[in-house]
């Protein structure tokens, strides 16, 4: 990544997005961060941070304006397994809107490179039923049997990225995150990942005093 790049990070108020902004700034990039909320635990180092709703197409056009070269699309309605299995319709609708609008806005604003953050939830559930299941490979997402809701919309968004590459030559890349957690990650509120929730419960149980996680 060249220090001369102008970069957009969506989902920059979230755990992964916030850390990515810090990494890109350290590498010398000019960074615009956008999210529906600001980072929870420290100020963003982004050159610009805009609070916006990327479910709206006009907001996606605005986010990708101004000579942005690379887009890291990490914006998503997501959380731990308890949340994503109880909000199938809302999560599917919100993320389909974000991903479709961000791809089209990136095409119209001549983005050079586009990275989409997918998920391990795209992998076929039928291949993960046994304790003796082999390690998953990229091709194990097919035949399709992803997690309902969140997994299906992520899998189709991957296909949309491939369609935009084929039809419009938008240089798209895809990464599939697994259970990601660590410093500055959400640890309460219902959207936290299991390791953070367990750590919080252990801290609370420790004489009733919470400790920093």
Catalytic site positions: 150
143 prior amide bond cis, ω within 30: yes
Distant-in-sequence, close-in-space partners of 19: CB < 8 Å, separation ≥ 6: 184
Query: Which pair of tokens denotes residue 81?
Result: 């397994």
β-bridge pairing 30-35 and 48-51: parallel
- Distance CA(137)–CA(170), nearest Å, equals 25
- 19: helix, strand or coil: helix
Buried b (16+ CB within 10 A) or exposed e, 152-187: bbbbbbbebbeebeeeeebebebebeeeebeeebbb
């Amino acid at each position: 990544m060249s220090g001369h790049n102008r970069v957009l990070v969506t989902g920059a108020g979230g755990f992964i997005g916030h850390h990515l902004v810090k990494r890109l700034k350290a590498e010398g990039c000019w960074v615009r961060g956008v999210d529906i909320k600001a980072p929870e635990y420290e100020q963003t180092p982004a050159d610009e941070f805009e609070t916006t709703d990327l479910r709206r197409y006009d907001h996606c056009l605005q986010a990708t304006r101004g000579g942005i070269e690379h887009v890291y699309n990490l914006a998503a309605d997501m959380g731990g397994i308890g949340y994503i299995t109880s909000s199938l319709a809302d999560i599917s609708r919100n993320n389909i809107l974000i991903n479709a609008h961000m791809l089209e806005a990136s095409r119209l604003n001549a983005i050079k490179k586009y990275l989409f953050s997918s998920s391990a939830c795209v992998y076929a559930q039928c291949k993960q039923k046994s304790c003796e299941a082999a390690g998953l490979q990229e091709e194990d997402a097919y035949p399709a049997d992803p997690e309902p809701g969140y997994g299906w919309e992520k899998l189709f968004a991957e296909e949309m990225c491939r369609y935009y590459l084929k039809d419009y030559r938008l240089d798209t890349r895809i990464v599939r995150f697994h259970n990601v957690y660590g410093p500055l990650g959400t640890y309460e509120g219902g959207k936290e990942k299991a390791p953070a929730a367990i750590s919080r419960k252990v801290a609370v149980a420790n004489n009733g005093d919470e400790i920093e996680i």
